[in-house]
Structure 1
Amino acid sequence: MTGGLMSTASPDVMSVLELLAGGAPAARFEELLRDARCEDASADTLAQLDQAVRLASRVQALVGHAQQREAGLAALVDTAHDLTLVHGMDALLYEITRRARRLLHLDMAYVGLRDAGEESRPSSIRAAEGETTSRSVGLKTSDDSGLGGLVQRSGAPAWSPDYLADRDIPHSPDIDAVVRAEGLHAILAVPLGYGATVFGTLYGADRKVRHFTPDEISLMRSLGQLAGVAIERARLLEETRAEVTELELDTSRARSSLDVQRRVEAAYIRLIDLVLSGCDPQTLAEAAVRELSGSLVVRDCVGRVVVTTGTPPELAEDDVLRWTYDAHAAGRPVPMSAGCWVAPVTAGGENLGAIVLVPDEPLTDGFGVRLLQLTARAVALILLLQRTSAVAHDQIRDELLDELLSDIRPQPRQLVPRARRLGIAIDEPHVMVVARPEGGPEGRAGAWASSYAHRVSGLMRLRDGCVTLLVPGEDPLAAATAVSEELAPLVGHPVTVGAAGPVSGPALVAQAHREALSCLEALTELGNLGGLATPQQMGFLGVLLSETHGIGEYVESAIGPVLDYDAQRFTELTRTLSAYFAASSSPTRAAASLHVHPNTVSRRLERITELLGADWQDPDRALEIQLALRLHHTRRTLQHRQASSGVAGDAGDQAPRGAGA
């Protein structure tokens, strides 16, 4: 035999491990199995060797899949960096198609875009690579035909292994003619967009029948997200150049305000030069306030202050938020009280934040207001440039949470170091929060969730209208309350929240997610929209919803002090409590069933009130206590039966609490 094995030794399981450790090709494993058959190995040896070979093949396949996935993510990060270096829309679109073609080893890739602000018009193919005819670029595609139409309507990827033979797709003669001319079969289409707006489609195609894998579809979708941000950035740069050109034209038309226009143009060009040189928001704000004079504050989309220059006066938060919303509604700077101004910071219709300016001198439309509006555009541009490089990092965070929530059992040795590199201590206590805004813009909730997850060193996912958050902490109710208090005012609608935990380590994250989701669904079924709940908070319903909090914990939370009192003092408070409820809350009838004086029952009930609180006889609380008593009695009965039959029970249940129960 070869590959480091002794020729005189019979092949065995260790031989398979040696080949696997040496990275031998698949053919060597089959050769090892054939050698064993030729050497007349025993049936048991052959069976073990055959099973080892099959398991080795699975290990090789898993390692190959992981390497392929890692290579795809690495290529995606490189793409995110390279797209920031491309200037000009045409060059950017060509680079996107080139990257898509190489990322998935496709025969052809092409991009379809709508004109800016023309959502009702059909898309047109703007760039292609790998084409063999001149019929693809310039092709018009409508929303009611082709894979692009499906993507534009749903905002989700669409694909077909054999496009022309696929009858589930709404076909168009024009599109089919181009597909036929190019000899295409398999086509994959993903949305291009920014925020909640889809403005185009990225296509990848093969000239053979091909079934795209989930990893390939996910990789193409991630490339589409990166490309959407880059295209929006390029559009914003083009609009900026148009603004400068417009300023120049206005200057030539209005000689009377030539000096003012020149000042605005010169100031804005200086700001844009700073942006293109890679400055941070603080440097840009300081340069802008030198032109405007005064104090300037930049706030993000959730109202947090991210940049401050000078010493702005104290302003009422409610007033600032109200004027900020007015500025976004108007799409231009608006005056506040006391001479302050608010300018919206937007990109592609998405709210990125606002600028609050407290000028030293009153602003005029001729210079100050116009320059403030252009400063807000420059701030939007720099935030967008920063976000381009962060998309790939966010994609890796999203992949980590998807793996933690998947049905496949996560591997702590792999996930814990990956999470640590992202600044997330997944092996320490975390709680799961699932929040559903009952109306309001989903894009605003997603932007808030992303910001919140970064702020608390957690993970987030937005799916099916629900925000899923895995955040550090040990109190799920406190985490749910914090999320509700921040998110509800932002979206302007009630937010229903379910939470669970705490859990430590990757293995329990999916379980906590199921429990939090069950609490959310229970609140919905009970009609308590806008409420929040955890398994611990929901009483006996929590026992049904939770996978970790069992009957023992429920009994402890309901009547634990009474059980402890009986166990320590050999009293009969638990038995008295059961008799009291069985007698329809009548102390006299309870005394008769216990064969004691009614005064004795009254004194015991007073002690129970001291242990459980004055509200223990309220209807809801009384129901919980009666259920806990019934569960406690049933558990003790089962334990006694197990003990008498010699069956060992759970060590935690062997010592019955409350001798007098």
Structure 2
Amino acid sequence: MSFLSQVLNFINDESGVPDSLFQRLSPDERQALREFELGFRSSQHWKEITQGILAAAANLSRSKDKEDVLGDLVKSARSILHADVGYISLNNGEDHDTSVLVTSGVVTQQFKDIKIPLGVGVLGMVASRQGSAWTTDHASDPNVTHLPEVDAAVQAEGIRAILGAPLTRNGEIIGALMVGERRKRAYSPNEILVLESLASLASIALEKAELITSLEQSVEALRSAHQNREEQVNELQSLTDVDAILTRLLNQGARPESIARFVSERLNTHTWIFNEAGELLVAFPDQSISSELEKVVSRAQNEESFVTEAGYSAIALSVHERSLGVLSVATTVDEAGSRIVHRASATLATALVFRETLAAAEARQVDDVLRKVVAGTASREDVNRLRKLTGFDVNDFEKSCIVSIETVDLDLRASTVNSVLAGTGIAFSHENHICALVHCAVNISQKSVESAMEPLLDWANARQGDLFIGAVPLARDLESISRQHEKSCALTRSLRQLSLTGRVAMPDSFGSLGLLLGASSESVADIVEATIGELLFYDESHSTELARTALAYLEKNRNVADTARELYVHENTVRQRLDRIKIILGSAWAAGTSALDVHLALRAWTLSNSTVNRENKREFH
């Protein structure tokens, strides 16, 4: 068995690579191996979390007793979050207290029998916040409302840290799903999100169990009314089918398209799903939207509730006061239809939040790798990971470049750049600009890079904003990419100093002028004024073209004949103009270091002047 195979076998067994093998690796290989192990453990952890949540969701479609279903959910919460104890507490409206319904890991009867007045403990914090609440140390937390009998039960169980997520029914908090630790513990945002997802499932389980109980009692009470009994049984069966189908859709990812299709077919109507900004995500079977529908959707989102009006029904998609959008149907639903819509919305909201969490975690991985690439510290493993996550291959340097993007008047974000470039580039925020790796259709050139960046330039132009973009071909070795990034930033700064917007600058765009702009802290206007200001003033006052003649003379290697052909004038005219230039700038203006200073200033003036002309043309049109 090869050395690499031995390492991989230990990783697959999740037993860790032993020191005897680890010491045989080079320092870079050790670092790469540890990073891979961390990523592998993270993936396995999220896989276990996903399987746990989906397994808990699958229980909702089974014909189980309420206590059994909730007991399984509590065990799932405790297992996924590695908690010492877990329990579900339900509110007693008449007694104004809450009591423990099911537990897992609890060892004292005192805690199982505890009745907590509403507003006390972490449960009170959940109710007041209308959302998740936690404490790292119950006994010493001043934010927790304490009662001696409650504190005694908690201390007897040995619980210190507690995390709770609310159970809701029709928008009202009816209890909480809780986990606890017999030590101090701080809960991460991901752990809070997992418990909230399980609490949403527990809420559905409670509603389903209560519905089944209610229907069973009705069937027993109305046994003599055969027709009514059949209708209630059919309704129960229908809702059970709905739960089973929604659970299957949740296991498959619960895409908005599949939820819209299910609701439309189940209620025999049209269905629309909107995002939190009110934009249409999915319409089934068509996309026609009336003004009445827009009003109902807006009301449901503003009130975060279920709304029935003007022949439409709409329900806000939300997870504990966080708006995710609206689901709407083209019918005034009855009670059975309302349950279907509520279940569909809860399934969709849970899937959206979970998918968003996974996407955010993946985006963070991409950003981390990109920052390593730009810093020149990326390893080959990082390059391979970037290719797997995004499809971008840093090794394809002949068609790839590193781009620096700046703006002064646009709300430009990396996510916007990624969306506009549509797969040709990957961007992230870096210091005071946005950095992107861009892939061109053909080998790198001024034309191919401008073509790749054209969608972003069009986006900025449509918003009447200015973009400054510097681009440098990717280096062949990873260590040199950081220098290429610095060059792209220098080009971007050069564009800003020249006020050249709506174009892409590459290393050969400015010649030596680009080096001056990248290194100097003076403005271009100051450089031009100090060097050729008097010449420009003379041209403006006398309607002459001395500055243009001086630039052509220097560009043509001080050849009078070539300069005359370039300007379409007689050689004597050129000589006369050169004599006038000597009077204004001095006899040594075209020799030695003065020639370089004048040449750079003339080029800067030409570029700035061309920008003004383009802006005037744009305003005219």
With structure 2 as the length reference, what TM-score do the two structures score?
0.53
- SS at 2:102 equivalent: strand
Q: Do the aligned partners of 1:80 and 1:388 also contact (CA within 8 Å) in 2?
A: no
Match of 2:109 among 109, 134, 154: 134
Residue matched to 1:423:
none
Q: Do the aligned partners of 2:165 and 2:176 also contact (CA within 8 Å) in 1?
A: yes
1-structure distance, mates of 2:94, 2:370? 41
Residue matched to 2:134:
158
2-structure distance, mates of 1:31, 1:406? 28
Match of 1:229 among 200, 221, 229: 200
Q: Do the aligned partners of 1:124 and 1:141 also contact (CA within 8 Å) in 2?
A: yes
> Shift in Å at residue 383 of structure 1?
4.4
Q: Do the aligned partners of 1:345 and 1:352 also contact (CA within 8 Å) in 2?
A: yes
- Written as runs of structure 1 = structure 2, the 5 A alignment for 1:431-470 is none
Q: Do the aligned partners of 1:430 and 1:504 also contact (CA within 8 Å) in 2?
A: no
- Written as runs of structure 1 = structure 2, the 5 A alignment for 1:22-41 is 29=19
1-structure distance, mates of 2:283, 2:113? 43
Match of 1:343 among 299, 303, 313: 313
Please say if 1:598 is aligned against 2:575.
no
Unpaired segments of 5 or more residues in structure 2?
Answer: 247-258, 373-381, 392-399, 406-412, 436-458, 471-487, 512-523, 549-591, 609-621
2-structure distance, mates of 1:252, 1:347? 38
Match of 1:102 among 50, 55, 79: 79
1:18-42 CA-to-partner distances (Å, cap 9, x unmatched) read 9978869999759999xxxxxxxxx
1:98-117 CA-to-partner distances (Å, cap 9, x unmatched) read 123333443322234557xx
> Shift in Å at residue 81 of structure 1?
1.5
Match of 1:356 among 315, 321, 330: 330
2-structure distance, mates of 1:654, 1:592? 11
Residue matched to 1:552:
494
The alpha-carbon distance between structure 1 residues 643 and 126, as it changes in their structure 2 partners (threshold 3 A), is farther
Q: Do the aligned partners of 1:80 and 1:392 also contact (CA within 8 Å) in 2?
A: no
> Shift in Å at residue 326 of structure 1?
6.1
Letter in 2 for 1:413: N
Please say if 1:177 is aligned against 2:119.
no
Residue matched to 1:376:
338
Q: Do the aligned partners of 2:133 and 2:165 also contact (CA within 8 Å) in 1?
A: yes
Letter in 1 for 2:54: H
> Shift in Å at residue 125 of structure 1?
3.4
Residue matched to 1:300:
273
Q: Do the aligned partners of 1:84 and 1:388 also contact (CA within 8 Å) in 2?
A: no
The alpha-carbon distance between structure 1 residues 95 and 157, as it changes in their structure 2 partners (threshold 3 A), is same
Match of 1:473 among 419, 425, 435: 419
The alpha-carbon distance between structure 1 residues 642 and 327, as it changes in their structure 2 partners (threshold 3 A), is same
1:44-80 CA-to-partner distances (Å, cap 9, x unmatched) read xxxxx9x968994x66654554343223211111112
- Written as runs of structure 1 = structure 2, the 5 A alignment for 1:205-220 is 205-207=180-182, 209=183, 211=185, 217-220=188-191
The alpha-carbon distance between structure 1 residues 400 and 470, as it changes in their structure 2 partners (threshold 3 A), is farther
Residue matched to 1:275:
242
> What is the CA RMSD across the aligned residues, in angstroms?
6.2
Letter in 1 for 2:359: R
- Written as runs of structure 1 = structure 2, the 5 A alignment for 1:495-514 is 504-505=425-426, 508-511=427-430
The alpha-carbon distance between structure 1 residues 554 and 31, as it changes in their structure 2 partners (threshold 3 A), is closer
> Shift in Å at residue 230 of structure 1?
0.5
2-structure distance, mates of 1:556, 1:282? 55
2-structure distance, mates of 1:408, 1:157? 35
> Shift in Å at residue 136 of structure 1?
2.3
> Shift in Å at residue 384 of structure 1?
3.2
Q: Do the aligned partners of 2:89 and 2:98 also contact (CA within 8 Å) in 1?
A: yes
The alpha-carbon distance between structure 1 residues 345 and 241, as it changes in their structure 2 partners (threshold 3 A), is farther
> Shift in Å at residue 83 of structure 1?
1.4
Q: Do the aligned partners of 2:135 and 2:163 also contact (CA within 8 Å) in 1?
A: yes
Q: Do the aligned partners of 1:125 and 1:139 also contact (CA within 8 Å) in 2?
A: yes
Match of 2:163 among 173, 189, 195: 189
The alpha-carbon distance between structure 1 residues 603 and 199, as it changes in their structure 2 partners (threshold 3 A), is farther
Residue matched to 2:579:
none
1-structure distance, mates of 2:89, 2:75? 14
Match of 2:357 among 383, 389, 395: 395
Aligned-residue sequence identity (percent) comes to: 12
> Shift in Å at residue 129 of structure 1?
0.9
Q: Do the aligned partners of 1:431 and 1:474 also contact (CA within 8 Å) in 2?
A: no
- SS at 1:344 equivalent: strand
- SS at 2:77 equivalent: helix
2-structure distance, mates of 1:430, 1:297? 46
The alpha-carbon distance between structure 1 residues 157 and 409, as it changes in their structure 2 partners (threshold 3 A), is farther
Q: Do the aligned partners of 1:431 and 1:471 also contact (CA within 8 Å) in 2?
A: no
- Written as runs of structure 1 = structure 2, the 5 A alignment for 1:392-431 is 392-404=354-366, 409=371, 411-418=382-389
